[in-house]
Amino acid sequence: MKRRKKERQQLLQATIRENPFVTDEALAKQFDVSIQTIRLDRMELSIPELRERIKDVAKQQLDDVKALSMEEVIGEVIDLQLDERAISILDVKPEHVFSRTGIARGHHLFAQANSLAVAIIDDELALTAKATIRFTRQVKAGERVVAKAKVTRIEKDRTIVEVNSSVEQEPVFSGEFIMFRSNQER
């Protein structure tokens, strides 16, 4: 059942407010309309395109990564509060998947989560001491993986980081990373 324009636009605004990383393609599928209709709705509502929304989120507050260079983080970091939380986005491209199946290689999802767990540490030295991970669904080329990291505990020389990755808010990966950090005062 198609919704009326006004109702669809209200739901569109709420959906984008809840998940600013949602693509026009995903919105079109969700609302059972064309991509062009979504783009016209966004224009009428003055909602910027995805790349601009990502930049806006990134500008809100981004600390400097200490334990590695920003280029070493797998995916694009769009939010980082050292020793608190971080978010990165990875667009799965053909080079990330098995050619026969089109399914993303697990080490790319792990690398995104692990590098985010390193990046979140407010220390010059951060190494993964142990990781407990779980893949919950396959990821295919063309999908966007949003990884959210959260520090759950800080001890003397260890930090526990929980990372949850999703595609269109559907969980695809989760992990608990026990990170070694130097014994320096924070």
Averaged pLDDT for residues 151-168: 94
Residue 186 has a pLDDT of 45
Q: Catalogue the E-assigned strands of the chain.
A: 76-81, 85-91, 126-135, 144-154, 158-167, 170-181
Using an 8 Å Cβ cutoff, are 70 and 77 in contact?
yes
Given a contact cutoff of 8 angstroms between Cβ atoms, the answer to whether 111 and 177 are in contact is: no
pLDDT value at 13 more than 50:
yes
Residue that wins the pLDDT comparison between 165 and 49: 165
% residues pLDDT > 70 (the chain): 87
Beta-bridged to residue 149, according to DSSP, are: 86, 163
Q: Which residues pair with 49 in a beta bridge?
A: none
116 has a pLDDT exceeding 80: yes
Q: Is the pLDDT of residue 123 over 90?
A: no
pLDDT score of 70: 64
Average pLDDT over residues 105-121: 94
Q: What average pLDDT does this structure show over 166-174?
A: 95
Long-range CB pairs of 20-24, under 8 A, 24+ apart, other chains included: 20/53, 20/54, 20/56, 20/57, 21/50, 21/53, 21/54, 21/57, 21/89, 21/144, 21/146, 22/50, 22/168, 23/50, 23/144, 24/49, 24/50
pLDDT of 35 strictly over 70? yes
Q: Which tokens sit at 176?
A: 């608990």
Closest CA to 109 of 60, 70, 58, 74: 74
Per-residue pLDDT band for 167 (boundaries 50, 70, 90) equals: very high
- Other CB atoms within a 10 A radius of the CB of residue 125 amount to 15
Domains in the chain, CATH or no CATH each: 5-56 (1.10.10.10), 61-181 (3.10.129.10)
Q: Are 86 and 80 in contact (CB under 8 A)?
A: yes
pLDDT in tens, 48-103: 887 777 766 655 555 566 656 666 788 888 888 889 999 999 999 999 999 999 99
